[in-house]
Structure 1
């Protein structure tokens, strides 16, 4: 079977056959990943997931040319900001996606038999998720209409700088300057804009805005620092981080077949 087919079957929780066949057979003819009618296990989202604070939807599967591996949604959350201690702004919602085959290959042997309750607070597990150069993607969907590309750049630059220093004090900060340089003032990001960040297995961080690639920076340190914001220490959303642990555990529980 092809890696893509195995990824899909593993996400459905049954590599010998589908749990429930969809009524729309056309879903199986090349457009399977876009169909929410397919059966998926309870540890993975049954269909497009809605982030409750913003009402923004995230598809259960993603696949595209820049990151050819089929990825499945393993967690959703949002980034908020308090203004003047009274008003809360929900800046963006996010969905985190991972590739089942590489999860099984690189993390399954160590963690597949570990109870989920033990994983969600295990720093070694999250460190391994960040260390193993897995296919990971985070999709941000802008919720606040006043958000600018410059504000996004400034927030990322500050957070990534701190995390890079923690990960590797001797890192080459040129990678961060290169990354930030692509966030130019002429890129509009109205509410609903999708900003995707994808880590490839060879350590590239690819950025896309509404499906158009704007950058590709080769730096394993930058990749780790970026996803550390979501599944590392002091994450954007602790609840989302724990949801990722539960769903990754669900994927690993199906590694054996």
Structure 2
């Protein structure tokens, strides 16, 4: 699947761990940001991957009776997927601008995550998260992958290398809220992901 605004292509599946049945690409989007209050740039393209079988098992009883067109706009389904630790999901980010460096990227994430974490009272996790990026060499085309674990932690890979974990279910929930929440950082991305999740769950009985 190709993200239209940046032309970034994403493979159909992505495995955080080596296995045969890998999570499937649900949708793609792009994150735009106004730089210095003047120029708007596409900071990164993103693809959202989800374990289809786990999602069907978790969500089928509650949501599979509804048609996809209804499920696309069903925030309760998005919340269920967002908070379920037993559904493996990954956000795969590809930096699409040479103007993005580690400092700007971390600052942008902090601006988006801090209000969500302040409401939950877990700002320390944000500091732990930012520490994972220290020393990373940012460049156009750099890939980062964020994956939840069954324990509720968030694992990070930068350029294909393990960068570490944030051991906070509250933080993991806040991170996925950036893409599945009611105020996503990419509205087009949320719509694309919602279509993919809706089609997956509505086909649970097929």
How does the TM-score come out when normalised to structure 1? Answer: 0.74
Alignment match, 2:161: 212
Whole-angstrom CA distance in 2 between matches of 1:75 and 1:215: 25
Alignment match, 2:6: 54
CA RMSD of aligned residues (A): 1.9
Shift of 1:144: 0.4
Alignment match, 1:191: 140
Confirm or deny: 8 A CA contact 2:106 2:130 kept in the other structure.
yes
Say which of 18, 23, 48 aligns to 1:96.
48
State the number of aligned residues.
205
Alignment match, 1:172: 122
Alignment match, 1:247: 196
Shift of 1:256: 2.5
Shift of 1:210: 1.3
Whole-angstrom CA distance in 1 between matches of 2:173 and 2:148: 9
Gapped runs of 5+ residues in structure 2? none
How does the TM-score come out when normalised to structure 2? Answer: 0.91
Alignment match, 1:46: none
Say which of 226, 231, 238 aligns to 2:187.
238
From the CA coordinates, give the structure whose radius of gyration is larger: 1
Q: Looking at both structures, which has the greater relative contact order when contacts are Cα pairs under 8 Å and sequence separation is at least 6?
A: 2
- Can you list the C-alpha shifts for 1:177-236, whole angstroms capped at 9, x where unaligned? 11111221x311111110111111220100111110111111111111001001102112
Alignment match, 1:203: 152
Alignment match, 2:89: 136
Alignment match, 1:80: 32
